Structure 1
Amino acid sequence: MGRLVPAVTRALDILELFLEGDGTLSAPEVTRRLQLPRTTVHELLTTLAARSYLVQIPDQTGRYRLGVRAYQLGSRYAEQLDLAAEGQQVAREVAETCDETVHVAVLEDTDVIYIAKVDSTHAVRMVSAAGRKLPAHCTSVGKMLLASLPPAELETRLAGRDLVAMTQNSITEPDALLAALAEVRERGVAAEHRESNPDVSCVAAPVRDSAGHVVAALSISVPMIRWSEQREDELAELAAKGAGDLSERLGHRGGR
């Protein structure tokens, strides 16, 4: 690994400060927060502004905000993002932590499509595949994605639909589904207990893009022989962390 260049490191430290708070800073604030000499901060701010990474705010003398060049770099990064590839990487990291099967899925009408999957190493594990489509209301990822829709859109998607049963535990009544989705919104994570597979339970958390929209969900699936209420709580926390990590990769900055 090559040597880090101090001046570049300090310039990047300054830029990253603008990711916090209201996105504006003055030279004294930068000096105080980074514990750098005033002259150094002034020179770095002047250089970043000259290259359009920062811009002085017209009505607030001495205060800066991010400039157009930072936006251009962020936009180029977003263009190169691949949800499936990023999801596969995060799913692998989550699976390494819990050694259970991890999926990332997206919503298509009233179904979910799995776009990434990493298997557990246990002999007894969930059998599935990336590309598989399932009724959303029978899965934890599907409940998470349905619960994230605006009420009018959710009503339109569900109108006239039969809620098919995949197991005897599947939700088949619209009112019961709406109640379950309300619980998902309140809790912030979704769960399904043997609703798509009689031998498996799952938990899922939302994945958000740079605009804060829910674009996918990440789930952890566990055979009932390894399932318990305590395990559900542990995996719900891990799913939320994994979904938060994937959200950050997609540019989301709103926290988990």
Structure 2
Amino acid sequence: MRALEGRATGIPHTATERQDSVMSDGGNQAERPASTGVDRTLTVLERLVMAEDDLTLTALAKITRIPLATCASIVYTLEHRGYATRRIVGRSHFWRPTLRLYSLASQLVRKVDLSQIATAEMRALGEEIGMPVHIGVLDGASVVYVAKAATPGFIQFDTYPGKVAPFDLTALGRAISAHLPEDELAVLLPHLRQGQGPRAREAGPEAFKALLSEVRADGYAIEEEEEQAEISCAAAPFFDAGGRVAGAVGVTGFARDFAGDKRAVAAAGVVRLGAVISRRLGYRAESLPSELVGP
């Protein structure tokens, strides 16, 4: 990654308008009215999806802590709408979700544009740390850059949407690889390449797997003058609704930009942004600190 030179007042008047204004402006969560019915329905649906086996109504009510009559009303409605079905054995009814959810999710995935999913946050991070910010996804044994945010004042690097780079020689690729299933990682290991930078590491599979263990422990990846001299980058993964790694978000700069506290700031920034993107892709994880999860 070489560097290149270079109403008229808007004030709501009625009670309804004021409430709509609060909702549309991202008002305080405490000010937003909560729907117990919607919350319970989603809880039932999530439990059905996560369950290893079909559930009886009694078991479902117990694990969701929802009154039996209410739980029954919810699952019968889900059945009527095609989101749940039941298997009858004697006097027992066993419930499970249908693939209608998958159909909805598939339509949503086709509409997701990673280049637009966190544009404002990418730009804000770039301005904060003085480096361009990128999103990359894995394509075979390569990382493809799908988005970039940089202000005109930055020295521009030849990182651009559509750029392809070796998966193992970029922080983006390492952040993704660290969270791949073992069988998928095994397919990539024969394609390791030797970096040309002064701090290039050994390109062997065992050394690379040890590096990925560090990435998982840290929560982010760093590449410092390994692919080429004077250039370094930091990246963190993001995950989809199914919990699979979907890509990574990273920053690129001169090696001197990663010295001292700047490295920690850059790492914290990409981890925070990775959590924001994960949240918007539907990923939920209790382990994510609330301060790292975006709107």
Give the match for residue 12 of structure 1. Answer: 38
Equivalent residues of 1:91, 1:102 under 8 A apart: no
CA contact (8 A) 2:125 2:133 kept: no
For structure 1, list consecutive stretches of 5 or more residues without a partner in the other structure.
32-40
Unaligned regions of 5+ residues in structure 2, if any? 1-15, 24-31, 52-59, 289-295
* Inter-partner Cα distance in structure 2 for 1:173 and 1:45: 55
CA change 1:173–1:209 in 2 (3 A) is same
Deviations 1:24-64 (A, max 9, x none): 557x9569xxxxxxxxx79x9599556566889999x9xx9
1:18 deviates by: 4.9
Deviations 1:183-206 (A, max 9, x none): 112222111112234333221111
Say whether the 8 Å CA contact 1:112–1:134 is kept in structure 2.
yes
Match of 1:90 among 118, 126, 135: 118
Q: Partner residue of 1:240?
A: 271
User: What SS does structure 1 have at the residue aligned with 2:284?
Assistant: coil
2:193 alignment partner AA: L
1:210 aligns with 2:238: no
Deviations 1:53-97 (A, max 9, x none): 6889999x9xx997876665445433x333xx2343315413313
Q: 1:232 to 1:65 in 2, by over 3 A?
A: farther
Structure 2: distance between partners of 1:129 and 1:16? 40
Residue 209 of structure 1 deviates from its aligned partner by 1.9
Residue type of the alignment partner of 2:175: M
Paired residue for 2:200, among 162, 167, 170? 170
Match of 2:214 among 175, 178, 183: 183
CA distance in 2, matches of 1:72, 1:109: 26
Paired residues in the alignment total 244
Q: What RMSD, in angstroms, separates the aligned Cα atoms of the two structures?
A: 4.2
* Percent identity between the two aligned chains: 23
Structure 1 residues 171 and 137, CA gap change in structure 2 (3 angstroms): farther
CA contact (8 A) 2:232 2:258 kept: yes
In 2: Cα distance, 1:70 partner to 1:153 partner: 26
Aligned in 2, Cα 1:131/1:8: closer, same or farther, shift over 3 Å?
Answer: same
Counterparts of 1:223 and 1:55 in 2: how far apart (Å)? 57
What TM-score, normalized to structure 1? Answer: 0.71
Is this contact kept in 2: 1:148–1:185, CA < 8 A? yes
What is the CA–CA distance in structure 2 between the aligned matches of 1:152 and 1:71, rounded to whole Å?
Answer: 24
Q: Distance in 1 between matches of 2:193 and 2:246?
A: 23
Contact 2:198 2:228 in 1 (8 A): no
- Structure 2 letter corresponding to 1:141: L
Which residue pairs with 1:199 in the alignment?
A: 230
SS class of match (1:131): coil
User: Structure 1 residues 7, 102: closer, same or farther in 2, change over 3 A?
Assistant: closer
* 1:81 aligned onto 2:111: yes
Does residue 142 (structure 1) correspond to residue 160 (structure 2)? The answer is: no
Shift of 1:240: 1.8
State the distance in 2 between where 1:92 and 1:170 align.
34
Q: Which of 154, 158, 161 is the matching residue for 1:127?
A: 158
Q: How high is the TM-score relative to the length of structure 2?
A: 0.63
Q: Offset of 1:98 from its aligned partner?
A: 4.2
SS in 2 for 1:239: helix
In structure 2, which of residues 119, 140, 144 is the aligned counterpart of residue 113 of structure 1?
144
